[in-house]
Amino acid sequence: MADIDIEKRGKIAILTLNRPAFRNALDEAAIEVLDCFFDRPDPAVRAVVLRTSGPHFCAGLDLREHYEKNRSPVEFMRMCQAWHRAFDKMQFGSIPIIAALKGAVVGGGLELAAATHVRVAERSTFFALPEGQRGVFTGGGATVRVARIMTPARMIDMMIAARTYDVERGYQCGLAHEIVEEGEGDARAIAIAEAAAEHYDVTNFGILTGISRINDMSTTDGLFAESLLAGMVMTNPDLRPSLEKFFAKQAPRLEPKS
């Protein structure tokens, strides 16, 4: 049984990686739980918080399991593909996932974080891809997801020069979207998830499945796909009362900073 707790709270689900003695390292069972959860999410769950127990977010691949299983190249490739499947379901699914980061977000832990949509980071957060130093390689999607966030050149530099980014540096290159004080990450992630859970389903669908996929497309295909998505989202009949509120000046006002 994987050490991931799942709590439903109103319209959101809170997933907790609960293996602090191993710095929440991800074994095969944990990836299986994530895959199952995001494969057919409960329709009542409108947003997810991904948090962890202990002072660290996640130390990546369970190196002990890896050592003990002594996998063949094909077995390891299949295991990587299982990570890719689970993380794809997260990134390209239509449920907003808010990560509460703290301490180590390293190796496969950074790959997991990169599959989430909003990353709130406590000041203790640090990012690294120590695979270079350990003589291993990324296998949970970093060459695609992490490289696209921080740029491939920065990712190569991080691995070759064995750099650890503190929270500020991670924020500057998009690994974190917001920095909060120690102990405040979970509450802030829950607040963001609860607000996102109130968005129209079809709007979240457009944002989450559209933007990542469109960025894999050519300009022509991307613009065409955007028009299709916008046609679906903007003609949602449920939108009309929201526009009427805006005309009546009853809609929440945009603040210059939030």
Residues of this chain that bind ligand 1HE (CB under 6 A): 22-23, 25, 56, 59-64, 80, 83, 104, 106-108, 130-131, 134, 136, 138-140
- Of 133 and 151, the one with the shorter C-beta distance to ligand 1HE is 133
Q: How far is the CB of 36 from ligand 1HE (least distance, A)?
A: 18
- Of 54 and 174, the one with the shorter C-beta distance to ligand 1HE is 54
In the set 28, 65, 122, 131, the catalytic residue is: 131
Active-site residue flag, 181: no
Q: How far is the CB of 227 from ligand 1HE (least distance, A)?
A: 37
Residue 138 near residue 129, CB atoms below 8 Å? yes
Determine the Cα–Cα distance for residues 128 and 110; give it in Å rounded to an integer.
8
State which H helix or E strand residue 185 sits in: helix 185-196
Residue 100 near residue 49, CB atoms below 8 Å? yes
Q: Which residues contact 88 (CB under 8 A, 6 or more apart)?
A: 115, 141
- Of 24 and 203, the one with the shorter C-beta distance to ligand 1HE is 24
Determine the Cα–Cα distance for residues 203 and 112; give it in Å rounded to an integer.
24
Active-site residue flag, 131: yes
Q: How far is the CB of 55 from ligand 1HE (least distance, A)?
A: 7
In the set 7, 75, 111, 181, the catalytic residue is: 111
Residue 193 near residue 120, CB atoms below 8 Å? no
Which positions are catalytic? 111, 131
